[in-house]
Amino acid sequence: MMLAFAGKGGVGKTSVTSWMADWLARSGHNVWMIDADTALSLGQASGLAPELLPQPVSSRTDLVRERIHAEGFINLNPDVGDLPRELAVEVPLHEEPFPGVVPGWKRLLVMGGLSNAGGGCACDANALLKALLASMVMDSQDCVLVDLESGVEHLGRGTAMHVDGLVVVTEPSMRSFSTASEVGRMASELGLDRQVLVINRYMGGDPPELEHLPDRRFTIPVLGGLVQRQMTDGNVLNLPESVELDAIMERIVAALS
Ligand SMILES: Nc1ncnc2c1ncn2[C@@H]1O[C@H](COP(=O)(O)OP(=O)(O)OP(=O)(O)O)[C@@H](O)[C@H]1O
Ligand SMILES: [Mg+2]
């Protein structure tokens, strides 16, 4: 199963990706976490110390040149099947596995911005990510969770065309719902109809009637434990509200499976 997480900036995409990855691993799945955002925060949100973060794919100018600019032109189908194993790092589980379940692992791969790598441009970053996702879909039964950059640009470039499901994250605000609706529309155009809407920091009320907002909806309340924690710590796992979050993640995965 390959899922992407999209939405407006700051709505909680990285947090939801971290919660779902940890829940999946504790439920027995092996999980590849792909940080496709340039802010590089998925590792931190999953409790990984800064010195343990993996080297971003983009910083490997040797690889970018070799794979993307081979023979002097941009190769849109670079062979990248080995990158996950070569560059990803193991991320420890931050909560107890479920009783009687052999937990899977979590591995983090950071794409990084490619604009300055290997004389490249944003199209390089997309070519690399697209090729990577295509190779992972074909090669493995594991779960792949892709934390996308905020906004709709990734979808516009077709990056998410290889994923099986999309988690559209929004805040309870009109601007954020508008972005969510745009994300939903572009994803549907890519043929990605398996979508859910996650309204994060939900405090009640009905979402606006916007076309293309995914029909299947889940809410996550404001988490007091996280509000306290995030003053000093970027880790979003192991909260007082974890049991509640686990139940929500389980329902979202069921809706997308
Ligand atoms: N339900 C919640 N309750 C309280 N705080 C939350 C909740 N969800 C997320 N946060 C906090 O909101 C902030 C933004 O969350 P996060 O980084 O996951 O958003 P994002 O959509 O990935 O942002 P960006 O667009 O910058 O990548 C973080 O500090 C996170 O701890
Ligand atoms: Mg993020």
223 lines ligand 1 (CB under 6 A): yes
Distance 149 CA to ligand 2 centre (A): 7
Q: Hey, what amino acid is at 251?
A: R
Domain span at 172: 2-256
CATH of the domain at 213: 3.40.50.300
Top mutation candidate among 13, 14, 15 for ligand 1, by most atoms within 8 Å of CB: 15
* Tens of pLDDT, residue by residue, the chain (257 residues): 999 999 999 999 999 999 999 999 999 999 999 998 877 799 999 999 999 999 888 777 777 667 766 666 666 666 777 788 888 999 999 878 899 999 999 999 998 865 544 445 566 667 777 888 887 765 566 899 999 988 887 777 777 778 999 999 999 999 999 999 999 999 999 899 999 999 999 999 999 999 999 999 999 999 999 999 999 999 999 999 999 999 999 999 999 98
**Total domain count for the chain?**
1
Query: Distance (Å, rounded) from C-alpha 108 to C-alpha 52?
Result: 11
> What residue owns the CA closest to ligand 1's atom 29?
230
Query: Distance (Å, rounded) from C-alpha 34 to C-alpha 129?
Result: 9
15 lines ligand 1 (CB under 6 A): yes
Whether the CA torsion 7, 10, 14, 16 is positive or negative: it is negative
9 lines ligand 1 (CB under 6 A): yes
14 lines ligand 1 (CB under 6 A): yes
Distance 200 CA to ligand 2 centre (A): 13
Query: Distance (Å, rounded) from C-alpha 93 to C-alpha 106?
Result: 7
Query: Distance (Å, rounded) from C-alpha 138 to C-alpha 101?
Result: 26
Q: Which ligand is nearest to the Cα of residue 15, counting in written order?
A: 1
